[in-house]
Amino acid sequence: VYTLYHSPVSGNSYKVLLLLEQLEAPYEVIEVDILGGAARTENFARLNAKRRVPVLITAEGHLLTESNAILWYLARGSGFLPRDEFQQAQALEWMFFEQNHLESSLGLPRLWDTLLGQGREKAAAIAERRAAGVVFLKILEEHLAAHAFLVAERYTIADICLYAYTHNCHEGGFDLAPFPAIRAWLARVASQPRHVPMPPARPAPR
Ligand SMILES: N[C@@H](CCC(=O)N[C@@H](CS)C(=O)NCC(=O)O)C(=O)O
C-alpha cells in the first residue's frame, strides 16, 4: 500500500492521485492543509525538507518527492509509460516543460489570485505569469492540433502531468476559447477509464 501526502488544491498532488486511481493501485491519503501552512512546519520538513506535497511512501517505506518523478516511478511497466526509449525521452521532454514553464505560469495565478485572494498585492506578478502562460499554451495548442495525445499517440503520464495545471487554468483567469485543440485534448484525457476530477478551486474570501 502506498501512502500519499496530498492536498486537494495542489495540481502536483492531483497528478499522483489520478495515476494511482488509473493503475488501480492500493493507496491511502494523508491530507496536508497547505493553504493553512501545514507543509511549512518543522514537523513536515522532517518528512520532506522541501516542505512540499506530494510525497509518496512506498510499501517498502521508501520516500519519493517531485510529482513527475513519482509519476515515472509508478508508471514503470504499465501502459502509462511508453516502452520505446525515444518516446520515454519525449515524455520527459513534456514533463520538464511542464515544471519549467507551464506549472508556474498557469498554476500560480490560480494560487495567488483565487486560492489565496492576493490578486491586488500580486497584480504585477500575476499579469506577468498570465502573459507567459499564453505563450506556452500556444506551444501546446500547436502540438495537439496534430496529435491526439502528447506522446506516442496515446494517453501516458505526459498527458496526466500537463493536464493537472491546464484543465483548471481558467480558475487563474486564463481563457481556453482560442485553444480548440487543447480543449479537445482535455476532454479526451477526462474521458479515460477511471479518471477522477480535481476539486474546483474555492476562492478565498476577500
Ligand atoms: N516540483 C514539485 C513542486 C511541489 C509543490 O510546489 N507543491 C506545492 C503544492 S502544488 C506545495 O506543497 N506548497 C506548499 C507550500 O507552499 O507551503 C513537484 O512537482 O512535486
Q: Mean per-residue pLDDT for 107-124? A: 97
Closest atom of ligand 1 relative to the 54 alpha carbon: 20
Residue 57 beta carbon below 6 angstroms from any ligand 1 atom: no
Q: Mean per-residue pLDDT for 34-61? A: 98
Quote the ligand 1 centre to 39 CA distance (angstroms): 9
Torsion angle defined by CA atoms of residues 171, 160, 88 and 1, in that order, rounded to the nearest 10 degrees: 130
Quote the ligand 1 centre to 145 CA distance (angstroms): 30
Identify the CA nearest to 198 among candidates 12, 72, 32: 12
Q: Residue 33: its pLDDT value, please?
A: 98
Quote the ligand 1 centre to 203 CA distance (angstroms): 19
Q: What percent of the chain has pLDDT over 90?
A: 99
Whether the per-residue pLDDT at 13 is higher than 80: the answer is yes
DSSP 8-state code for residue 114: I
Whether the per-residue pLDDT at 118 is higher than 90: the answer is yes
Closest atom of ligand 1 relative to the 65 alpha carbon: 20
Q: Which residue has a Cα nearest atom 2 of ligand 1?
A: 66
Confidence of residue 205 (pLDDT cuts 50, 70, 90): confident
Give this prediction's pTM: 0.98
Between strands 55-57 and 27-31, the pairing is: unpaired
